[in-house]
Amino acid sequence: MNRHLLQGIVVGALFALPVTWIAASDALAAGSFPEILASAVFGLAAGLCVGGLIAGTFAMLAFEEHEPAEAHRHVEAHAHA
């Protein structure tokens, strides 16, 4: 489980970084600090939301791998009138 969780966090962070950079790069051209800060915070929030979903997906994958398989017993029932 730790391997999948670590992979999910890494993939989520790798997704959050470009989203933050793309959101802040437009504001860098304008050059005002409040615009850069607002764009960076918005981009980071959006990237972390989607990155968290990616990490959650990896964590669920790890949980499903370690879940014990359930054995089902075939039961035959006869109907008597």
Residue 30 lies in a domain: yes
3-state secondary structure of 67: coil
Give per-residue pLDDT as tens, 13-62.
787 788 778 877 877 877 788 888 888 888 778 877 887 787 788 778 77
Distinct helix (H) and strand (E) counts, the chain: 2, 0
Rounded to 5, what percent of the chain is helix, strand, coil? 80, 0, 20
- Report yes or no: 24 and 43 within 8 Å, Cβ to Cβ: yes
pLDDT at position 74, please? Answer: 67
Which amino acid belongs to residue 39?
Answer: S
Q: Is residue 75 part of a domain?
A: no
**Residue 73 placed within a domain:** no
Domain region containing 27: 2-64
Is the per-residue pLDDT at 12 higher than 70? yes
Return the structure tokens found at 8: 């999910």
